[in-house]
Amino acid sequence: MKIVYTSATGFTKQYAEMLSQELQIAALPLSDAKKSLEKGEEIIYMGWLNGGKVEGLRSATSHFGIIAVCAVGMGSPTATVTHDIRSANGFSCPCFYLQGGFDMSKLTGINKVKMQMVFSSFSKQLPPPEKRNAEENKMYDLFVNGGSFVSREKLRIVVDWYDSYRLIIKK
């Protein structure tokens, strides 16, 4: 069992390394995993959300046996987030959403251009500052100043799931 991840600006990598410590299993980037792991090896896959798609998941699926997916995005979790991620990405194994962060300064190329466009249309739709709700203020601040929501506490749900997965597998 390994943790395999794809990270553009480092938030998913941070979660993968924390989860590696918590579960005592190695974490490695997808590009390395494809060279060094056996085809079909069981993995927990972690990837950042790109327009609702889990980055790297399609490639990881064709190489490995994915037992769970952790998707890392900038948005606050919603009641339907894991259902939405499963249906947009077409998988049925356990899914966890982890709020990562945002850092425009670390983005490059097409990803930076896309997020500049997203920010521009988001800003145009925002009400005037005095009428914004807490979530709108939070997202505006995240776009402008960047920020991280990464915490070990958010991985608790993944660690608890893995503990019960191991018990079931042992039976």
Ligand X SMILES: Cc1cc2nc3c(=O)[nH]c(=O)nc-3n(C[C@H](O)[C@H](O)[C@H](O)COP(=O)(O)O)c2cc1C
* Residue numbers at the binding site for ligand X (CB under 6 A): 7-13, 48-52, 72-75, 100-102, 107, 111, 114-115
Residue closer to ligand X, measured from CB, 146 or 165: 146
User: Taking CB positions, which residue lies at the least distance from ligand X?
Assistant: 73
Residue closer to ligand X, measured from CB, 50 or 59: 50
Enter the DSSP assignment of 124: H
Residue closer to ligand X, measured from CB, 147 or 165: 147
Minimum distance from residue 18 beta carbon to ligand X (Å): 13
Q: Give the distance, in angstroms, between the CA of residue 41 and the centroid of all CA atoms in the same chain.
A: 21
Where does residue 40 fall: left (phi above 0), alpha (psi -120 to 50 degrees), or beta otherwise? left
Minimum distance from residue 123 beta carbon to ligand X (Å): 16
Residue closer to ligand X, measured from CB, 48 or 96: 48
Contact 152, 135 (CB under 8 A): no
Task: Tell me the residue type at 68.
Answer: A
Report which secondary-structure segment, H or E, holds 67. Answer: strand 65-73
CB burial of 140-161 (b: ≥16 within 10 Å; e: otherwise) equals bebbeeeebbbeeebbeebeee
Minimum distance from residue 38 beta carbon to ligand X (Å): 25
Minimum distance from residue 86 beta carbon to ligand X (Å): 14
Minimum distance from residue 110 beta carbon to ligand X (Å): 7
What gap in Å lies between CA 79 and CA 58, rounded to an integer? 25
Residue closer to ligand X, measured from CB, 2 or 55: 55
Q: Which residue has the tokens 């890392």?
A: 72
